[in-house]
Amino acid sequence: MLTLSPQDIQAIGLSLKVATTATLIATPLGIGVAYLLAFGTMRGKAIIEGIINLPLVLPPVVVGYLLLLTFGRHGIVGKALSNLDIQIIFTLTGAVIASAVVGFPLLVRSIRIGMESIDPAYAKVARTLGAGWWDSFLTIILPLSVRAIFAGMTLMFARSLGEFGATVILAGNIPGITQTIPLAIYEYTSTPGGDSMALTLCLVSIALSFTVLLASEAATRTLRKR
């Protein structure tokens, strides 16, 4: 019963690839945005925060549709990219973008909360000790928020593994190209007799998510010990 078809294995591989890429690309940006939200004093902070958090509350399908409008052949970004012969929709890149946008608020929220718990005086002390802005950011703020950054990355990775709504609209459900685990499960459930195959992938999904949680817990514990 618990056997995986080559297509399933491809789906698992794609899922991991999409989630990893989306998380790695989003992390530097997430750290920057979280820093601005935690320590910045600019106007309109609430509005920026609202826009970033929007994908968290919108139905993923809506996010996917908005992305399709943006990256589609007639979209603002899509048009520019198609001149460069780059296509986003129905590609793995599209799946990565969909996952990145949907998971981004979780990443930023986690890092921001971590950064807000850092006493701003530490950075000030570092400055008076001769450290420039980047120096104090890299040696004080970043190490002190490393746990929060890691927690945010885990959260985003897990969310990306489960991403369905935005992905199916922007990247479609093409086996071997954009079909990740959730999309494969969806296809099995809508095919007669696909129940046991769906269940197998469900178990894989559970195992993957659980591994991520355990790994994150273990990593947090080692970081705390340091």
Partner 1 sequence: MQLDVQLKKQRGDFQLDTSFSLSGERTGIFGPSGSGKSTLMNLLAGLTTADSGHIRLDGESLFDSAKNINLKPDERRIGVVFQHAHLFPHMSVRKNILYGYKRTKTDNRLIEPNALFDVLGIEPLLTRNVITLSGGERQRVALARTVLTCPRLILMDEPLNGLDENLKFQIIPYLNRVFSEFRIPLLFISHSMLEMRMMTEEVLVIDGGEIKQHIGTESLAKTSWDTDRKGYTNLLSLGKSTPHHDLFSYRWGNTALILTEPGLVEENLFELDAREIILFKRHPEATSARNLLKCKVKQIYMSGNRARVELECSTSTLIAQIVPESVRELGIQQGCNVIAAIKASAFRRIF
Rule CB under 8 A: which residues touch partner 1? 119, 121-122, 124-133, 135, 139-140, 143-144, 226
Q: Cβ of 15: how many Cβ atoms within 10 Å? A: 26
- C-alpha to C-alpha distance for 70 and 75, rounded to whole angstroms: 4
Least distance (Å) between residue 131 CB and partner 1: 6
Residue 95 DSSP SS3: helix
Q: Please, which residue, 17 or 147, has the CB nearer to partner 1?
A: 147
Q: Please, which residue, 74 or 224, has the CB nearer to partner 1?
A: 224
What residue spans of 87-145 are helical by DSSP H? 92-116, 120-128, 133-136, 142-144
Least distance (Å) between residue 132 CB and partner 1: 5
Least distance (Å) between residue 218 CB and partner 1: 20
Least distance (Å) between residue 135 CB and partner 1: 7
Of 16, 10, 11, 4, nearest to 161 by C-alpha is 16
Q: Please, which residue, 41 or 190, has the CB nearer to partner 1?
A: 41
Least distance (Å) between residue 208 CB and partner 1: 32
DSSP letter at 141 equals I
Q: Please, which residue, 118 or 198, has the CB nearer to partner 1?
A: 118
Q: Cβ of 189: how many Cβ atoms within 10 Å? A: 14
Q: Please, which residue, 55 or 114, has the CB nearer to partner 1?
A: 114
